[in-house]
Amino acid sequence: MATRAMLGVFRKHSIASRIASNYKLLSTLVLAEHEGGSITASSVSAVEAAKSLSEDNSVSILLAGSGTSLKEAAEHAASCHPSVSQVLMSDSDKLSHALAEPWARLIHLVQQKGSYSHIIAASGSFGKNILPRAAALLDVSPITDVIEISGSHQFVRPIYAGNALCTVRYTGSDPCMLTIRSTSFPVVPISDNARSDAAPIFQVDLSTFDEDARGKSRYVKQSSQNTERPDLGNARVVVTGGRGLKSAENFKMIEKLAEKLGAAVGATRAAVDAGFVPNDLQVGQTGKIVAPELYIAFGVSGAIQHLAGMRDSKVIVAVNKDADAPIFQVADYGLVGDLFEVIPELIQKLPEKK
Amino acid sequence: MKIMVAIKRVVDYAVKIRVKPDKTGVETTNVKMSMNPFCEIALEEAIRVRESGRAAEVIIVSMGPQQCVDTLRTGLAMGADRGIHVETRETLFPLSVAKLLKALIDVEKPELLIMGKQAIDDDFNQTGQMVAGLLNWPQGTFASKVVLDKEKQAVTVDREVDGGLETLCLDLPAVITTDLRLNQPRYATLPNIMKAKSKVIKKYTPDELSVQIKSDLEIVQVTEPPKRKAGVLVSSVDELIDKLKNEAHVV
């Protein structure tokens, strides 16, 4: 039933667009991650990226999981972005944790039915884990961490820790698979009445979903870092500390300042390795990529690998004792000084956040 | 059991790279090359498993031009038992590497493939996931802790994910890709460097492994990222706050 409905949507759409233009029809599958009954902000960015492939693009969101939180997430997905034309919901215990093995099979299954021209995910740990595996099953080369879409098959991505930009063209057969850097595809918030009509939600027919992938990997547990501060990946302001903080105790000053600014806290690899903070706060080539409006770095020297994670921030402020620290070469405002004096002064003098 | 480790020769992580004037790529001649840092971690982990008595042999594999043999020698000096070099001059994208690895795994039959989560040159972060998919083996990506249970034929992996850590249990054979915090790789000692010279490195070509190098990606150009405009040094916190408020309008 769901398959027939899906095909129906395509047929209608494809006839309409063939009349409208001679361009090849694009249809994109967005792999979405959900949490607590709504899809993640980075998944919505992936929809935004799908839109920039072509205005005339039929965008389907693929969701998987089980139970009521999946249903809520599907409803959220159906109305999260004006470009969404349908939501495909895969309800199965096998998919209740985002394991790569069943997910890759699911993508393979959905692609066989839907023949999408593109498959996109945000390049977080979810997309990076799953999409390449699915690409191998489909025998296509995926493209990681796209920051700019310059044509339906031409993309720009950073290489060498962001020290060079590489334009690649995909010349293989469909689907063209990519992960996108969500900070490069910011979502314009839509007003409530812009999307009164939610996109239809279909159940994916999982009757042919093989048992093969099951049992070979099992979810054991998750230990998450619960913080009340905004998510590092999406925060408007990020305050980061490096080795210069000297101890976990001193890192509390950074947290206090972040609180005052309504900011997320980040860290360098040195600070994480020294045990000041957990590793999910790491910003850089191997950690998170952020592009906030304001990035303040305290006691950060500015190694290539760190700069790779924050060089696209709008305004960068650096506070460091060492006037020759490389961070000053990318900072808009630099202050040479002792952070143990500067941070308390900032906390005292900064205006309260609205 | 055998462990296979895939290693890549890349521009040393400390080198400040230069984009070629003709925009075809990054300058790699006369530039210091080393083993990709994530691959070092993968190899270190494999050697530790062997040292704990849970594996008999560590085989390292590298693909690319003749110079990859140097990288393999480094790995042998760290403690790998033998090497395999798949020689090719073509540009290898992860899909081809994954297919070559699968072909080698069909020959060598290791029960564990450990490799880095990404190479620091192309930053793709794909090969491990792709080879796991081709083999239909379970995958433990971005591993920060690996515990092998030989009796249960399973491996428990702590993975670094966006919100913290996730623990998975994988049936062997499996593919693991390593994150930075998994371990601290050792240095090769002089006696081991000498010993490494007599260790075997077997050569293959993609043809011998019946792997077609697929080229469905084309590099159009490589350019330098846009430069940030020069910033200013401020002399006091007051001046900084003033600039952020009245010039940048961010606080």
Whether B26 has a pLDDT exceeding 70, the answer reads yes
**pLDDT score for A208:** 81
Min Cα distance A346 → chain B (Å) is: 7
> Which domain range does residue B45 map to?
2-224
- The answer to whether residue B12 is domain-embedded is yes
What residue ranges in chain B does DSSP mark as E strands?
A: 2-6, 9-11, 33-35, 57-64, 82-87, 112-116, 139-149, 154-161, 164-171, 174-178, 201-204, 217-223, 232-234
**pLDDT score for A231:** 84
- The answer to whether residue B239 is domain-embedded is no
**pLDDT score for B228:** 85
pLDDT tens figures, A167-184? 999 999 999 999 999 999
DSSP result, A252-316: HHHHHHHHHHT-EEEE-HHHHHTTSS-GGGBBSTTSB----SEEEEES----HHHHTTTTT-SEE
How many domains are contained in chain B?
1
Residues on chain A touching B126 (C-beta within 8 angstroms): 132, 135, 142, 144
> Token pair 């290489």 is at which residue?
A159
Better-predicted residue by pLDDT, A209 or A99: A99
pLDDT tens figures, A328-345? 999 999 999 999 999 999
- For A118, the token pair is 């593109």
- The answer to whether residue B176 is domain-embedded is yes
Query: Which CATH architecture does the domain made up of A237-349 adopt?
Result: 3-Layer(aba) Sandwich (3.40)
Q: How many helices (H) and strands (E) does chain B have?
A: 6, 13
Q: Considering chain B, what is the average pLDDT of its residues?
A: 95
Percent of chain A with pLDDT over 90: 76
Query: Which CATH architecture does the domain made up of A25-203 adopt?
Result: 3-Layer(aba) Sandwich (3.40)
pLDDT tens figures, A73-119? 999 999 999 999 999 999 999 899 999 999 999 999 999 999 999 99
- Which residues make Cβ contacts (< 8 Å) with residue B105, sequence separation at least 6? B4, B113, B131, B135
pTM: 0.90
A4 vs B: CB within 8 A: no
Average pLDDT over residues A53-67: 93
**pLDDT score for A17:** 42
Do A25-203 and A237-349 share a fold?
Answer: yes
C-alpha span between B39 and A242 (Å, rounded): 25
Which CATH number fits the domain that encloses residue B203? 3.40.50.620
Average pLDDT over residues A184-200: 76
Region class of B115: left (phi > 0), else alpha (psi between -120 and 50), else beta: beta
Omega cis (within 30) before A82: no
Residues on chain A touching B211 (C-beta within 8 angstroms): none
Please tell me what DSSP assigns to residue B70: H
Q: Considering chain A, what is the average pLDDT of its residues?
A: 89
B40 vs A: CB within 8 A: no
Residues on chain B touching A177 (C-beta within 8 angstroms): none
Rounded to the nearest 5°, which phi and psi values hold at A61?
A: -100, 130
Whether A166 has a pLDDT exceeding 60, the answer reads yes
- Using 50, 70 and 90 to split pLDDT, how confident is the model at A293? very high
Query: Sheet holding A26-31: strands in order across?
Result: A143-146, A176-180, A118-122, A26-31, A57-65, A84-91, A201-203
- B220, A336: Cβ pair inside 8 Å? no
Average pLDDT over residues B204-216: 94
- The answer to whether residue B250 is domain-embedded is no
- Using 50, 70 and 90 to split pLDDT, how confident is the model at A9? very low
Whether A192 has a pLDDT exceeding 90, the answer reads no
Omega cis (within 30) before B173: yes
A294 vs B: CB within 8 A: yes
C-alpha span between B1 and B56 (Å, rounded): 5
Mean pLDDT is lowest, of A100-109, A224-233, B112-121, B224-233, for A224-233
Contact status, residue B177 vs residue B126, Cβ threshold 8 Å:
no
- The answer to whether residue B161 is domain-embedded is yes
pLDDT tens figures, B83-105? 999 999 988 999 999 999 999 99
- For A211, the token pair is 């048992």
- The answer to whether residue B248 is domain-embedded is no
pLDDT tens figures, B186-201? 999 999 999 999 999 9
Average pLDDT over residues B115-127: 97
Whether A7 has a pLDDT exceeding 60, the answer reads no
- B95, A139: Cβ pair inside 8 Å? yes
Instruction: Tell me: is residue A283 an annotated ligand-binding position.
Output: yes
- The answer to whether residue B229 is domain-embedded is no
What stretch of H or E contains A50? helix A41-53
Angle CA B71–B76–B78, to nearest 5:
95
- The answer to whether residue B170 is domain-embedded is yes
C-alpha span between A62 and A104 (Å, rounded): 12
Q: Looking at the partner chain, which of A164, A170, A331 has a beta carbon nearest the beta carbon of B222?
A: A164
Chain B residues 159-178 within an 8 A CB cutoff of chain A: 159-171, 174
pLDDT tens figures, B128-175? 999 999 999 999 999 999 999 988 999 999 999 988 899 999 999 999
Chain A interface, mutation test: which of B19, B214, B216, B238, most A Cβ atoms within 10 Å?
Answer: B216
- B237, A345: Cβ pair inside 8 Å? yes
- Which residues make Cβ contacts (< 8 Å) with residue A77, sequence separation at least 6? A32, A34, A39, A43, A61, A63, A84, A87, A199, A201
**pLDDT score for A55:** 83
